[in-house]
Chains A and B, each alone.
Chain A
Amino acid sequence: MASEKTTGIIVAAQGNLLTVKFTGVIRQNELVFVKTGGQSLKGEVIEINGNLAKVQVFEPTRGVRYGDTVEFDEELLSVELGPGLLQSVYDGLQNPLEDVAQEAGYFLPRGLYLSPLDREKKWAFTPSAEVGDTVERASYLGSVPEGVIEHKIMVPFRFEGKGTITEMKSAGDYTIEEEIAKIKDENGKVHSVTMSQKWPSKFPLRFGKRKYPDKPMTTGCRIIDGPFPVAKGGTFCTPGPFGAGKTVLQHQISKNAEAQVVIVVACGERAGEVVEILREFPLLDDPQTGKKLMDRTCIICNTSSMPVAARESSVYVGATIGEYYRQMGLDTLLLADSTSRWAQALREMSGRLEEIPGEEAFPAYLASRIAEFYERAGLVQNSSGDIGSLTMGGAVSPAGGNFEEPVTQATLAVVGCFMGLSRSRSDARRYPAIDPLISWSKYFDRFRETGDEELKTMVQIIHMAQQILIESDEIGKKMSVVGEEGISLDDIVLFLKGEFYDSVLLQQNAFDKVDTTCDVHRQLELAEVVGEVLDKKFSFDTRDDARSYFVDLTNEIIQWNYTAKGDSSFKQQKGAILERIREDK
């Protein structure tokens, strides 16, 4: 580190792509600082040829001059990890936006890089390892309480081989820069360990055994937890046209998902939407812990007008933070809105590099980048035996709402669950607008073999309901051609059953304070009621009878969905519903 840094000068520039003539040794993807007009702008080496390096700058490059100096940093683009990540709001380069606002006011100035973690704050450290213990990278050394979680302090991930603890601080308050242990490696070299470390964001951070994701991560969203469930450590995507409800859905999931840490990556979307999270989460209660939602949340926010290159970086910063908490044995969830904007950032840079374009001008490596990204999800057992998970969900914004486009297709090839939002459902205000006839989840079948009885029952009912929905849809189509007169009464009833299931179970009102989330027990309770209706053989006299029966029943159940479980009328409403179902018809 002490050695002289390699430097170079700018010889060509176009947009945020610079060509730098350098002397010395540099590495691919090394960070650089472009010294221009008294500022220092972060960038990254993306191509090397002889003594010329192509550098992508993460900031607007206006004012960059021929001959400006560029310093090579040796480090790769990295994320700083340690206590204090939760509750933070970062940009795509992990710059803390609240601190930037303190320093610079309303606007985001170029070249202002502040420390991602508070360097002064003291954390109450409790050691769990002792002098003489043999450790390796990612072994626990101790922990500090961070909001609602036990934040494990681990042996640095870059530590090679086995090591022996030669010094260990006793319990007490330390900053992230103070030494808490010394570890001697196999070569006898002694390393000083603090509570923070860096990790290059584009490398997966995973130490331990991968496990097969076979337990659900519930979201409180019935249409997900029922027919299109997500596994802990699994992946899902939510493509849909503009205004179909991708962001509202992600916000709902980020509030109610059964995860200990939630990372929200606002990638190239509206700033206003992040503000809702920023302002609301500190006030909302976390249904699982009773603490505030913000306590378990970390926000990476590189919205659409912020620099495009940093947008590309934002999803990796998010993934790295998710993996870090997973390494502690925690269940983490990463939500990215929208991965299409990230793909577009790749496309813009690829265009500037004059690479041979693929479909819709996306680079040829688009699909492999998407696959690599989702591969970072997973269930991992660490060396201490704890199992942590990183579940990842990405919104996709296909051009024209047409799923036959490169980003959607590449994503569908790798995720475990596809929730396709459709314009026709959102137009009909059937929210969440996930189309139950095109969506799928590979985890659904896994859960059929589970030992969990509740889950098993749920899966059975939903399986039947989905079959009815498919038939119901067929009948509906026929009806729109031949009119109701051409359909038998039995088929009408089947049609109504499908509509009924859709209305009371699949649809859910995000803006109703009770209905917005539904815990698994309540979901099962509802599913059992719905199952009873779907199973029942009705004998109505006329079509109108059938129709008005289902309209009434649907309304009653929706009212029940709006009733809080603790409410005195909850049981009574259920009783009335069951009575109606069980009376002769």
Chain B
Amino acid sequence: MIKAYNKIERIKGSIAQVKAEGVFLGELAQIKMKNGGSTLAEVISFDDDRVNLQIYQGTMGVSTGDQTRFLGKPMQVRFGDSLLGRVFNGSGDPIDDGPEVMEESVDIGGPSFNPARRIIPRRMVKTNIPMIDMFNTLVISQKIPIFSIPGEPYNELLARIASQTDADIIILGGMGLKYDDYEFFHQYFTNSGAMEKTCMFVHTASDPVVECLLVPDMALAVAEEFAIQDKDVLVLLTDMTAFADAGKEISISMEMVPSNRGYPGSLYSDLAARYEKAVDIDGSGSITLIAVTTMPGDDVTHPVPDNTGYITEGQFYLHNGVIDPFGSLSRLKQQVMGKVTREDHGDLANAMIRLYADAKKARDRESMGFRLSEWDQKLIKFSVMFEDKMMDLSVNLDIEDQLVLGWEILADCFEYNETGIKNEWIQKYGKWSK
């Protein structure tokens, strides 16, 4: 039996209050507006018969005389193969002019994966981007953000990673996206042929703020279903800072005590609940999660990147259009480096990073006008080659070729005994003429 109520008692922020009986937490309601439109809402609390509803489309224009119907079910998302190639908003409605999706519904924000059922991830995700594959190897089931200042090409990077991996399914969750960004992803995936295996949930900057909060849950609920069906799913979430800001806006309008720069005390748990959906299921599929976290003012200690860093398994720093070799770290790389990839991988990568760090110092000396030693000059030559051939984001090479290229650069710039790499690898893989 669906119950309907014809009076709204209070409206504030994104919350409306109605008097109703027998409702449950998380129950979905539909508010029919005077102008003919309707919006979904969710029960977030009740006190006696006073029920607080969070209205997905915002309370703008909601009238005290609008009708509320409780639907007797929680928020759900449709799931099935027909989602592929499609685009939805944060409430799960199609926004691509396609037909309604007729599939089974699944609850969003479902329970957590049992840690006892997790396995140690050991499968590499190839991206053909040297700063990832070679130096910060991505692993199936990893959760990792791109830390970026606004304005960096983070969406381009995401799109490229997605198109170049061999994921079975790509789910994009867009939060606070500019319309142009949304179009960009759509075009890019269409052109690269990836759109057929992609499903998008998009909240644009002009959409209601509550829908922004729903996007990751929608995207991850769908990803989870695919993963259980033996699919390797890549989830892209951009921009998680917009997600956190939406949470902040709503919690402030609900008069919750903020903990740090206006963000609610639950920020860590809220982010972790989403990121921890990343998983490699024993004998089945997986979810790998790459997010974007824009850093206001390029400040890593800002609550959003800070809390994110405490949750994720490393981070890619995007600085001046390249992935910074110093701040970036894949915490899972040791699971695959030299084990799944060629044996010299780890040592070669470490040596190159160490030399690049030395080269930076040599460049500093150069810019201060000091006289450069022969070694300094070798280092500087190396750093230029390293930046052009490996750091540049347009470089596109298979990991095997990246390793070969690495050895070639070293041979071009140094004598074999100047690299600090163990002799065994130099003999086997080095590019110095014997």
Contact among B21, B44, B114 for A104, CB-based, below 8 A: B114
Residues of B within 8 A of A13 (CB): 25, 45-46
Q: Are A305 and B272 in contact (CB-based, < 8 A)?
A: yes
The verdict on B166 contacting chain A, using a C-beta distance below 8 Å, is no
Is B121 close to A, CB under 8 A?
yes
Of the candidates B48, B121, B259, B260, the one whose C-beta lies within 8 Å of that of A272 is B121
Q: Which residues of A contact B80 (CB under 8 A)?
A: none
Stretch touching chain B among A95-103, A141-149, A231-239, A322-330: A95-103
Q: Cβ of A402 and Cβ of B259 under 8 Å apart?
A: no
Known contacts: A243-B309, A271-B118. The answer to whether A65 contacts B44 by CB under 8 A is no
Q: How many residues of A contact B (CB 8 A)?
A: 61
Interface residues of B in 184-204 (CB under 8 A from A): none
Q: How near does chain B come to A112, taking the closest CB pair, in angstroms?
A: 10
Return chain A residues, CB-CB under 8 Å to B306.
Answer: 242, 399-401
A357 within 8 A of B: yes
Given A64-B25, A360-B260, A402-B301, CB of A242 within 8 Å of CB of B310 = yes
Determine how close the nearest CB of chain B comes to the CB of A277; give it in whole angstroms: 10
Digitize A4-47: 1 where CB-to-B-CB distance is under 8 Å, 0 elsewhere.
00000001111100010000000000000000100000000000
* CB 8 Å contact bits of B263-297 with A (1 = contact, 0 = none): 01110110011001100010000000000000000
Pick from B105-113, B168-176, B235-243 the stretch touching chain A: B105-113
Chain A residue at smallest Cβ distance from B353: A429
Interface residues of A in 47-68 (CB under 8 A from B): 60-67
Stretch with Cβ within 8 A of A (4 or more), from B56-64, B89-97, B130-138, B326-334: B326-334
Residues on B with C-beta less than 8 A from A270 are 276, 311, 313
Shortest distance from the beta carbon of B364 to any chain A beta carbon, whole Å: 12
Given contacts A104-B114, A272-B313, A305-B276, A12 and B46 within 8 Å (CB-CB)? yes
Cβ–Cβ contact A66 & B23, under 8 A: yes
In the complex formed, the residue of B with least CB distance to A11 is B48
Residue A347 is within 8 A (CB to CB) of chain B in the complex? yes
A15, B43: Cα distance in complex, Å = 10
Does chain A have a CB within 8 A of B117? Answer: yes
Min distance, Cβ A118 to any Cβ of chain B, angstroms = 16
Residues of B49-84 whose CB lies within 8 A of A: 49, 74
CB distance A11 to B47 under 8 Å? yes
Q: How many A-B residue pairs have CB under 8 A?
A: 163
Do B110 and A348 touch (CB < 8 A)? Answer: no
Contact across chains for B117 and A12 when beta carbons are under 8 A apart? no
Q: Which of A267-285 touch B at CB < 8 Å?
A: 268, 270-272, 274-276, 278-279
- Find A278's partner among B115, B303, B332 (CB 8 Å cutoff): B115
Is B351 an interface residue when CB atoms closer than 8 A count as contact? no
The answer to whether A301 touches B115 (Cβ under 8 A) is yes
Q: Is the CB of B303 within 8 A of A399?
A: yes
Residues of B contacting A105 in the complex (Cβ-Cβ under 8 angstroms): 114, 117
Contact across chains for B114 and A108 when beta carbons are under 8 A apart: yes
Against A, the Cβ 8 Å flags (1 = close, 0 = not) of B22-37 are 1111100000000000
- Residue among A13, A105, A397, A427 having the largest count of chain B Cβ atoms under 10 Å: A13
Query: Does B119 touch A at the CB level, under 8 Å?
Result: yes
Whether A12 contacts B48 by the Cβ 8 Å rule is yes
Measured between beta carbons, the chain B residues less than 8 angstroms from A36 are: 24
Q: Tell me if B112 and A306 are in contact (CB < 8 A).
A: yes
Nearest Cβ in chain B — how far from A250, in angstroms?
A: 15
Other-chain contact of A344, B21, B256, B268 (Cβ < 8 Å): B268
A67 touches B265 (CB 8 A): no
Q: Is there an interface contact between B265 and A274, defined as CB atoms closer than 8 Å?
A: no
Q: Which of B127-152 contact A (CB under 8 A)?
A: 141
| CB-based nearest A residue for B251 | A351
Q: Are B334 and A511 interface neighbours, CB within 8 A?
A: yes
Closest CB-CB distance, A168 to chain B, in whole Å? Answer: 38
Interface residue? B2 (CB, 8 A): no
The answer to whether B265 touches A361, judged by C-beta atoms less than 8 angstroms apart, is yes
Tell whether A401 pairs with B114 under 8 Å between CB atoms, given A13-B25, A14-B45, A304-B268.
Answer: no
Cβ-defined contact, A304 with B46, below 8 A: no
What is the minimal beta-carbon distance from A110 to any residue of chain B, in angstroms? 7
Least distance between B43 CB and chain A CB atoms (Å): 9
Contacts of A348 on B, CB cut-off 8 Å? 265-266, 269
Closest Cβ neighbor of A100 among chain B residues: B114
Contact B257 A357 (CB under 8 A): yes
Chain B nearest CB, measured from A350 CB (Å): 8
> Is B116 interfacial (CB-CB < 8 Å)?
yes
B228 interfacial contact with A, CB 8 Å? yes
Q: Binary interface profile of B, 314-357, with partner A (CB < 8 Å = 1, else 0)? A: 10000000000010010110100000000000000000000000
B259 touches A347 (CB 8 A): yes
Shortest distance from the beta carbon of A410 to any chain B beta carbon, whole Å: 16
B25 touches A61 (CB 8 A): yes
Pairwise interchain contact A108-B113, C-beta atoms closer than 8 A: yes
Asked if A361 contacts B258 (CB within 8 A), the reply is yes
Q: Return the chain A residue nearest B20 by Cβ.
A: A66
How far is A341 from B25 in the complex, measured between Cα atoms in Å?
25
Chain B, residue nearest A14 (CB):
B45
In the complex formed, the residue of A with least CB distance to B120 is A279
B74 touches A62 (CB 8 A): yes
Question: Given A271-B113, A347-B265, A360-B259, do A12 and B273 touch, yes or no (CB 8 Å)?
Answer: no
Given contacts A106-B228, A242-B306, A397-B310, contact A427 B326 (CB under 8 A): yes
Query: Once the chains bind, are B22 and A65 in contact (CB under 8 Å)?
Result: yes
Q: Which of A106, A243, A303, A399 has the most CB of B within 10 A?
A: A106
- Name the contact of B111 in the complex, choosing from A14, A64, A110 (C-beta under 8 A): A110
Interface string of A63-75 (1 = CB under 8 A from B): 1111100000000
Q: Quick one: given A65-B22, A361-B265, A401-B301, are A15 and B111 in contact (CB under 8 Å)?
A: no
**Residue A308 at the chain B interface, CB threshold 8 Å:** yes
Inter-chain contact A101/B116, CB cutoff 8 Å: yes
Assembly CA distance A108 to B47 (angstroms): 29
Q: What separation, in Å, do the CA atoms of A283 and B301 have in the docked complex? A: 39
- Residues of chain B within 8 A (CB-CB) of A357 are 257
B311 touches A15 (CB 8 A): no
Q: Mark A219-248, 1 if CB is under 8 A from B, else 0.
A: 000000000000000000000011100000
Confirm or deny: A89 has a beta carbon within 8 angstroms of a beta carbon on chain B: yes
Which residue on A lies nearest to B49, using beta carbons? Answer: A66
A66/B21 contact (C-beta < 8 A), A304-B276, A305-B272, A351-B256 known: yes
Kindly report which residue of chain B lies nearest to residue A104, judged by CB atoms: B114
Q: Which of B109, B114, B269 has the most CB of A within 10 A?
A: B114
Q: Can you add 12 more A-B contacts, CB < 8 Å, to A279-B119, A304-B276, A399-B260? A: A11-B48, A61-B25, A62-B74, A62-B109, A89-B116, A101-B114, A275-B119, A303-B112, A304-B269, A304-B272, A347-B259, A360-B259
Give me 12 A-to-B residue pairs in the complex whose CB atoms sit less than 8 angstroms apart, sorted by A's number.
Answer: A13-B45, A62-B74, A62-B109, A105-B117, A108-B113, A243-B331, A275-B118, A278-B115, A303-B276, A344-B268, A348-B265, A427-B326
**5 shortest interchain CB distances as A-B pairs:** A400-B301, A304-B272, A305-B276, A14-B45, A242-B309
